[in-house]
Structure formats: structure tokens, C-alpha cells
Structure 1
Amino acid sequence: MASDGGTKDMKLAEDQLKVLEENFRKVTKHPDEATLMLIAAECGLSEQETAKWFRLRNAQWRQSEGLPAELGSVKD
């Protein structure tokens, strides 16, 4: 699995990526609006950038699990 979190087009600092990955692994793969806002604030990113990172990272995770890239009927 790539260490960039599936976001090669996003320029993230190492500490931002660490916070995003930690939240993805330990908190949720699908943050609600409030959680997204908190993660974005912690990383110094906009909510839109954070949401985009989670979308791309989810697609990467799903592919690595042998699932379709888009969320379907199977829950993560």
C-alpha cells in the first residue's frame, strides 16, 4: 500500500499526513461533519481538502481489501 494515502495530487506535510492516517485507522473511515471539522482543524487543512483526502484514502483502502473503489452495499 502506498504511504501517501492515495493523495499524490495533494501536497501534505508529514505531520498532516500522520494525523489524517491516524484518524483513518483509529477513529473512522467515514467522518461525520463535526469529526471532519475537528480533523481539518488539527491538520490545518480546509474541510473540503480533508473530505477529499478521506474519499481518496477510502478508495485506496477498499481496493487493497479487494472491494470496489466506491462504497457499495458492504460496510467498511
Structure 2
Amino acid sequence: MGVKTPWALNDPENWRRTQRFGGKCFMLMGIAVAAFGLAGPYLTDAVVAAAISVVCLGGCIAMYAYSYLLFVGKIR
């Protein structure tokens, strides 16, 4: 289980840092999904579904990008 990017699988330090960042992303995504779930009665179903999709997709893209940026050396 984990954020399995090609770069993280080949480097133990990248793996460790990507998983730590991924854990934070998943916590924030969970809080956001719960907030939209609680706001559901006040919003339309389409808005809630779109917001949850954006949060989940954005978090996944952020984890993937973070791992890649570690790989190319843009983040120390």
C-alpha cells in the first residue's frame, strides 16, 4: 500500500518522503470530503460530487507531482 510512483519505488528516500507527504494529503482529503458530506444538505448533489472529485483528483496529482519533483531534484 502506498503512493507507488516509478521514482518512489526506485529510491528509498523518495519513497519515505512521498509516503509522508501522501499521508498528509490523505488526511486533508478526508477532512475536505467530510466537510462536503456535512454540507451536502445545503448543496446540490452535482456540486458535492464535483467538489469531492476535484479534492480527490487534486490530492492524487499533488502526490504524484511531489514524488516526481523529488526525483528530478526540484525539492530538497
* Same-fold call, TM cutoff 0.5: no
Higher helix share: 2
Higher relative contact order (CA 8 A, sep 6+): 2
Question: TM range, normalised to the smaller chain?
Answer: 0.3 to 0.5
